[in-house]
Chains A and B, each alone.
Chain A
Amino acid sequence: MTQLQILQAAPGLSLQDMGRNGLVSQGVSPGGAADRLALLEGAALLSLPAPLAALEMAGAGGVFTATAPLRIALTGAPMTATLEGQPLAWNASHLLPVGAELRIGGVRAGTYGYLSFSAPVLSAHLPTGTAVTPWQGSIATHFAAGIGARLTAGCQLEFGDAVQTDAPPLCLPTDTRFEGGLCRVMPGPQTDLFAAETCARFYDTRFTKGQRANRQGVALESTGQGFSTPAATGLLSDFIAAGDIQMTGDGQPFVLLSECQTIGGYPRLGTVLPEDLPRVAQCQPGATLQFQQVTLDMARDAMRCDSEILSALRQKLTPLTRAPQDIRDLLSYQLVSGVTAGDDLDIP
């Protein structure tokens, strides 16, 4: 059975997939990757029909080796990565040979990097003797709900049979979602609880992503007054969802992410479109975020389901070529044949 050993691990390492549905009625939000697009990119690069579980790496990765050849993809926030000391391209798929040391360092932009595999993860064994295994249709760790666990040095992933074994190394163009930017917002059930002037001011404001950011949500900071509503007083707890822009008591906005709670008592101004949510999740504290109001119809027109996004990504794949300056032992390759020093043929 193919295994991946985690030799070193940065603090924010966990298994994530596209999340688990159907548990809102039991108080568990879907969870799953903070940047779902990165998992779809991983699936495209590995020629998979749908995303499998990946290692989500918050801020930095770790050091990994495999017990059998394993095809991998590196997506999401670009991180420094080397294989046996040789630089590896990000947003690309690679072959991880047996025993080779894959080293993934800190982010160069964004927050969440992903290490995807061409085989399903069956379990993650922890040094404590416990294991992370699929539960209710997903192996995703949901920290807020206490499902799964943080992965550390000494953990070992076990894989099932590879879904795709012979696809060539591929790459995708680099995306711009790691620097913040403009996010579209559709109306939500509580938009009408806010004064029109408050909404207008929200959409005119340039926000800075705050330091308070995790898989549950991220704080938005701005100068000037907050974005509260008198309707917040006595508001009954109601359903909340990833993408919701929630105003805390003092009117500070938080954008909720995949591990948000399922019901809450703070009023919400609208919902960031799923396609733009990775921008909020990925950008680093201090990045600029702005929001643009769209109608429900515009939001529905813009929506792409996962299979459509995956098809579009496949159109953008190109073969991965290595730059000559990245090949350390370039002179050991036979680059030109049929040339001699000119005197070797003279030897009798």
Chain B
Amino acid sequence: MPPSLSDPPFQPTCAAPDVLPLGLDSFVVRFATHGGRDHPGAVQAYAQAFKEIAFDGVVEVALALASLRVVFDPARTDVGALSALLRDLAESRDWYQDGSPPPRRRWQIPVAFGPDFAPQLTEVATLTGQTTQETIRTLTNTDLRVLAIGFAPGQPYIGLLPPVWDFPRQSDLTPEVPAGALTAALRQLVLFANPSPTGWRQVGLTAFRPFLADRNTAFLLDAGDALCFRAVSDAEMHSLLADNRDGRGGARCEILS
């Protein structure tokens, strides 16, 4: 079930996303500054439409939760034309209408939910008003997407979970979650690339390493990838962690297009 289905119905407005310069070598196309709707789908749809244009001088297109960034080389880009094109594209349609474009790839990542691997699972169950089993079921049955990558190299922000998962980060930081920690807040999951202090609550552990500099494919995920989690026993997670030279932690990747 696409997570947007559980949201209140979208009321179309005339407001197109803003096109704003960020420094002298990029534009941000921003759908919202604060909370609310299913912005990731609109961001992904706009990004895909823009990438198809292949504008000369553009270095890359990066996605965040409610915005995308178009980075260009000022020495070989017609900045005025790029700005006009981004604005025209912004106003050309209702980017919320069709939701996320179809994913190119689908990942299935093993995750363990034993008490050692999911120290805050019961706390999150309380926050969402579910049993622990229902919480695990939501985490493993929801079709998710990589919404953005950031904070650490390759580290995915994943979502969106149903609205009951819209609880804030905890105010006290957890001193350290391990690499591979699956953590929740704000209807999203973050799969930590490295050990890190965080305010996100740990609800599981994976052996998935989204970034390894000396791996053939240094970065595994792209924003827009579809993703789901598969529950494994603690024993299986121990063996995945013990033999994890490729850093994929038993994940499978299916190419869809």
Contacts and interface: CB of A to CB of B under 8 A. Distances in A.
Say whether A associates with B: yes
B66 interface: yes
Contact of A239 (B18, B22, B213, B219): B22
A296 interface: yes
Interface residues of A, number: 43
Interface string A214-247: 0000000000000000010011111101111000
Contacts of B213: 135, 146-147
Contact of B24 (A146, A186, A193, A234): A186
Given A24-B62, A25-B149, A238 B30 contact: yes
Contacts of A27: 149-155, 211
A138 to B, nearest CB: 12
A306 B76 CA distance: 12
A22 B60 contact: yes
Interface stretch (B31-39, B100-108, B117-125, B129-137): B31-39
Interface in A265-315: 271, 273-274, 296, 299-300, 303, 305-307
Contact of A236 (B20, B35, B149, B151): B35
Interface stretch (B67-75, B238-246, B248-256): B67-75
Nearest to A267: B33
A154 interface: no
A38 B119 CA distance: 49
Contacts of B149: 25-27
Contacts of A241: 22-23, 26
B237 interface: no
A271 B22 contact: yes
Interface string A133-167: 00110000000011100000000000000000000
A261 interface: yes
Nearest to A268: B22
Interface in A178-215: 186-190, 193
Contacts of B150: 27, 237, 261-263
A103 B215 CA distance: 38
A239 B69 CA distance: 7
A22 to B, nearest CB: 5
B59 interface: yes
A174 interface: no
A176 interface: no
Contacts of A306: 75
A22 B59 contact: yes
Nearest to B152: A27
A135 B211 CA distance: 13
Given A25-B61, A238-B33, A261 B151 contact: yes
A146 B153 contact: yes
Contacts of B160: none
A271 B28 CA distance: 13
Interface string B145-164: 00011111111000000000
A234 B65 CA distance: 13
B91 to A, nearest CB: 18
Contact of B153 (A28, A186, A242): A28
Question: Which 4 pairs, one residue from A and one from B, show the smallest C-beta to C-beta distance?
Answer: A25-B62, A189-B20, A263-B150, A27-B150
